[in-house]
Structure 1
């Protein structure tokens, strides 16, 4: 089993697509178009996995607080081979590092906001052992 794609509503499909390509140089825009109401969509990823971005117009209400008490997506997390290289790429491209303090002997995590304010997590595992990778007492 694997996650084939995630579908995320965003206020700026082009900005989020550029963020994902900055994070993952092997990502590309696989396709795109417009929905019946004229709002745009893009599929950004590889031949095997992608993120579907759907344009969602901003509405006149307060933005949802990430990690707050309102239901909704807080972040998507991607496993990467080299979290330091990813961090360097995203900082060099001007993206906002939102990494919360975290220290674990068997995994390293960084977080970044995309240009629309969504949070994305990237994790590098330092162990092949499931009991070490998924040890939550050391976090």
Structure 2
């Protein structure tokens, strides 16, 4: 298995596109699986369309389901930080994508994204692992 850890600066962005980094990592690896893992308690990864308004739609959906208000038992950090700790139950911290001919087998409009609502930590680690098949 080949594995690498990326450092990703998210700043205040909820969604950070990782597709280019995943594609670069898979280049010339042949067929197999790429696993994407975020080793953080307040972030997840997803496959979604980007650049079409989906990012603000996701932000609105997260705000409806997990409001930023101070309604959580987990209360350290900035206002609503408790929701950041609940987010990975809705947006999983890992995913696996098939790789064919050294390219992630994503659909036409699919992107691999980091979803991170925790503005207190603008730098994230992302582990990419390739399992040949």
Q: Which TM-score tier does this pair reach, normalised by the shorter chain?
A: under 0.3
Question: TM-score scaled by structure 2?
Answer: 0.26
Pick 1 or 2: higher relative contact order, CA cutoff 8 A, min separation 6.
2
